[in-house]
Amino acid sequence: MPNPDDRLLTVLPCGGCIGLGRMDWPGSVAGARECARVAKGRVVTAGVAIRAEGPRGTLATALAHGRRLLATAPALAERQAEAILEAVPGSADAILLKGEARLRQGDSAGAKEILGGLAASCPDWAEASFALGLALAADGDSSASIAALRRAGELDAGLAAAWRALGDQLTLAGDAAGAGEAYAKAIRASVSDPELMQAAQALGDDQLPVAERILRARLKRAPTDVAAIRMLAEIGARLGRYAEAEALLARCLELAPGFLEARRDYAVVLNRQNKALELIHETDLLLAAEPDNAAFRILRAAALARAGEFEAAIAIYEDVLRASPGHAKIWLSLGHALKSAGRASESVAAYDRALALAPGFGEAWWSLANLKTYRFSEDQVAAMRGQLDRADLRDEDRLHLEFALGKALEDARIYAASFAHYERGNRLRRSQVGYDAADLTGLVARSRERLTPEFFAARAGQGGEAADPIFVVGLPRSGSTLVEQILASHSAVEGTQELPEITSISRALGRAQRDDDASAYPDVLAEIDAGQAAALGQRYLERTRIYRKTSRPFFIDKMPNNFAHVGLIHLILPNAKIVDVRRHPMAVGFSAYKQHFAAGQHFTYDLEELGRYYRDYVELMAHFDMALPGRVHRVVYEHLVEDTETEVRRLLDYCGLPFEAGCLRFYENDRAVRTASSEQVRRPIFKDAVEHWRAYEPWLGPLKAALGPVLHTYPEAPAPGA
pLDDT per residue as tens digits for the range 647-677? 999 999 999 999 999 998 888 766 444 444 4
Q: What confidence score (pLDDT) does residue 45 get?
A: 35
Same domain, 404 and 466: no
Residues of the domain holding 122: 4-172
Confidence grade of residue 531 (pLDDT, cut at 50, 70, 90)? very high
Range with the largest mean pLDDT of 196-200, 235-239, 409-413: 409-413
* 61 domain-assigned: yes
With beta carbons less than 8 A apart as the criterion, state whether 271 and 245 touch: no
Average pLDDT score, the chain: 85
Same domain, 653 and 572: yes
Average pLDDT score over residue span 14-34: 33
Distances (CA, A) of 478 to 43, 146, 561, 618: 70, 43, 12, 13
Same domain, 408 and 515: no
Q: Which residue has the higher pLDDT, 83 or 190?
A: 83
Domains identified in the chain, total number:
3
What residues have CB less than 8 Å from 558, skipping those under 6 apart? 472, 480, 481, 484, 495, 496, 497, 498, 499, 675
Same domain, 571 and 613: yes
Count of other CB atoms within 10 angstroms of residue 222: 14
pLDDT at 342 over 60: yes
Element (H, E) at 469: strand 469-474
Average pLDDT score over residue span 329-345: 92
Same domain, 457 and 418: no
* 150 domain-assigned: yes
* 719 domain-assigned: no
Euclidean distance between CA atoms 317 and 314, whole angstroms: 5
pLDDT in tens, 27-61: 333 333 333 333 333 433 333 323 233 333 477 88
Same domain, 464 and 521: yes
Q: What confidence score (pLDDT) does residue 722 get?
A: 64
Q: What confidence score (pLDDT) does residue 670 get?
A: 61
Q: What confidence score (pLDDT) does residue 684 get?
A: 56
Q: What confidence score (pLDDT) does residue 686 get?
A: 62
Q: What confidence score (pLDDT) does residue 428 get?
A: 96
pLDDT in tens, 58-80: 778 888 888 888 888 889 999 98
Same domain, 482 and 501: yes
Q: What is the CA radius of gyration of the chain?
A: 31
Same domain, 23 and 107: yes
Q: Which residue has the higher pLDDT, 151 or 142?
A: 151
With beta carbons less than 8 A apart as the criterion, state whether 299 and 283 touch: yes
- Dihedral of the CA atoms 60, 63, 69, 73 (nearest 10)? 170
Q: What confidence score (pLDDT) does residue 189 get?
A: 74
* 658 domain-assigned: yes
Q: What single-letter amino acid sits at 611? A: G
Give the CATH number of the domain where residue 709 resides: 3.40.50.300
**At which of 432, 453, 473 does a domain end?**
432
Average pLDDT score over residue span 622-637: 96
Euclidean distance between CA atoms 443 and 365, whole angstroms: 37
With beta carbons less than 8 A apart as the criterion, state whether 505 and 434 touch: no
Distances (CA, A) of 318 to 279, 306, 337: 20, 17, 11
pLDDT at 11 over 80: no
pLDDT at 607 over 60: yes
pLDDT at 292 over 60: yes
Question: Could you tell me the pTM of the whole model?
Answer: 0.76
Confidence grade of residue 537 (pLDDT, cut at 50, 70, 90)? very high
Confidence grade of residue 195 (pLDDT, cut at 50, 70, 90)? confident
Q: What confidence score (pLDDT) does residue 677 get?
A: 47
Which segment of 43-47, 594-598, 718-722 scores lowest on mean pLDDT? 43-47
What residues have CB less than 8 Å from 234, skipping those under 6 apart? 180, 183, 184, 187, 203, 245, 265
Beta strand 9-11 pairing with 48-50: antiparallel
390-418 exposure pattern, b = at least 16 Cβ within 10 A, e = fewer: eeeeeebbbbbbbbbbbbbbbeeeebeeb
Euclidean distance between CA atoms 583 and 577, whole angstroms: 20
* 328 domain-assigned: no
pLDDT at 554 over 70: yes
DSSP state at residue 451: S
pLDDT at 453 over 70: yes
Distances (CA, A) of 427 to 271, 365, 436, 631: 27, 19, 15, 39
Q: What confidence score (pLDDT) does residue 29 get?
A: 35
Which segment of 28-42, 197-211, 384-398 scores lowest on mean pLDDT? 28-42
Distance of CA 347 to the CA centre of its chain: 18
Same domain, 494 and 378: no
* SS3 of residue 556 by DSSP: strand
* 338 domain-assigned: no
Same domain, 407 and 552: no
151-178 exposure pattern, b = at least 16 Cβ within 10 A, e = fewer: bbbebbeebbbbbbbbbbbbbbbbbbeb
Euclidean distance between CA atoms 298 and 172, whole angstroms: 8
Euclidean distance between CA atoms 486 and 478, whole angstroms: 14
Confidence grade of residue 258 (pLDDT, cut at 50, 70, 90)? confident
- What percent of the chain clears pLDDT 70, i.e. is strictly above it? 88
**At which of 407, 432, 457 does a domain end?**
432
* 347 domain-assigned: no
Across-strand partners of 11?
48
With beta carbons less than 8 A apart as the criterion, state whether 273 and 303 touch: no
**At which of 172, 189, 214 does a domain end?**
172
With beta carbons less than 8 A apart as the criterion, state whether 677 and 370 touch: no
* 603 domain-assigned: yes
Same domain, 403 and 504: no
Same domain, 138 and 28: yes
Give the CATH number of the domain where residue 103 resides: 1.25.40.10
Q: What confidence score (pLDDT) does residue 4 get?
A: 34
Q: What confidence score (pLDDT) does residue 196 get?
A: 84
